[in-house]
Structure 1
Amino acid sequence: MKFTRQATATWKGTGMEGTGVLSTQSAVLNNTAYSFHTRFKDEKGTNPEELIGAAHAGCFAMQLSFLITETGRTPKELTTRAKVYFEDGSITRITLYLNGEVPGMSEKDFRELAQKAKEICPVSKLLNTLIELEITYVTA
């Protein structure tokens, strides 16, 4: 399967005083505000790090669902939170916090598939940083 996706960033002004907007091809982001303050001061708007976190959490959860489905099971719920660590101008690591429930699957099998998903999800493969995985498994 081949496809492309697009996003656009428009920035006006200096790095600290300026503002920008982000838009995606799907229009889920449509002139969504971002700025120095939304990135470094937790003001309302988005920032590149949380978008990377959302992309990574979403990609990982979907990849894990594919792997689980290949075993003949269906996940009841997979919730992934990605914590992106920014330090001295670099993303130094990402921790994925996974909560999952898969009826009929052992915790051991779930953990093995989660580790595999972490390694093969396209966003994990793209990122050049340490990726940690913490798992909570709910026995169905």
Structure 2
Amino acid sequence: MTEKTANVHWEGSGKAGLGQISTQTAALKAYPYGFASRFEDERKGSNPEELLGAAHAACFTMAFSFACEKAGFPSAVIDTQAKVRLTQQGDAFVIDRIALSLTASVPGINDARFQEIAEQAKRDCPLSKALASVPEITLRATLQTSKGAAS
């Protein structure tokens, strides 16, 4: 069993307030966030949706790599993007979609098996399971074929 910790310190109220996010590993240490970085596309801070996307992409990528290895196809290179959409519903906001996009090089695998493993990893990833209340989690998986070595 493992347990990880993140902390947030917030000062001020609502739109005017500013927060700082810190993680146990110090990957983030007093990293700023607030209304502008969440709703106004300010790039001087982070936001919960971006962090959720990073966590989901990281978890899914690792689950995919382990699933490939277990199936006898060790992965070479994996790139994953997660787009997390926050929408307003009435007076509240909800995350209504996460779109995962995977591009990977997996020697010796065919596309059908690659797609099966990618879908399985999406289902089995602990973050996907934790995010089961999100109405739509999609996956676009692209098998990158390696070009022959130069002579």
Same topology, TM > 0.5 = yes
* Corresponding residue for residue 65 of structure 1: 65
* Corresponding residue for residue 107 of structure 2: 103
Q: Residue 107 of structure 1 contacts residue 139 of structure 1 at CA under 8 Å; is this kept in 2? A: no
Can you list the C-alpha shifts for 1:15-68, whole angstroms capped at 9, x where unaligned?
Answer: 100101000000000000000011111111100000000000000000000000
TM value normalised by structure 2: 0.90
Residues 1:114 and 2:113 aligned together: no
**One-letter code aligned to 2:97:** R
* CA RMSD of superposed structures (Å): 0.8
Partner Cα separation in structure 2 for residue 63 and residue 71 of structure 1: 12
**One-letter code aligned to 1:76:** A
1:135 to 141, 147, 150: 141
Q: C-alpha displacement at 1:137, in angstroms?
A: 1.2
* Corresponding residue for residue 45 of structure 1: 45
Structure 1 residues not aligned, in runs of 5+: none
The residue matched to 1:20 in structure 2 has which SS? Answer: strand
Q: Residue 54 of structure 1 contacts residue 82 of structure 1 at CA under 8 Å; is this kept in 2? A: yes
Partner Cα separation in structure 2 for residue 67 and residue 137 of structure 1: 15
**One-letter code aligned to 1:99:** T
- Which 4+ residue blocks in structure 1 deviate beyond 4 angstroms? none
* Corresponding residue for residue 82 of structure 2: 82
More divergent stretch after superposition (128-137 vs 22-31): 128-137
Identity of aligned residues (%): 44
TM value normalised by structure 1: 0.97
**One-letter code aligned to 1:58:** A
* Corresponding residue for residue 11 of structure 1: 10
Partner Cα separation in structure 2 for residue 71 and residue 115 of structure 1: 14
* Corresponding residue for residue 149 of structure 2: none
Q: Residue 85 of structure 1 contacts residue 91 of structure 1 at CA under 8 Å; is this kept in 2? A: yes
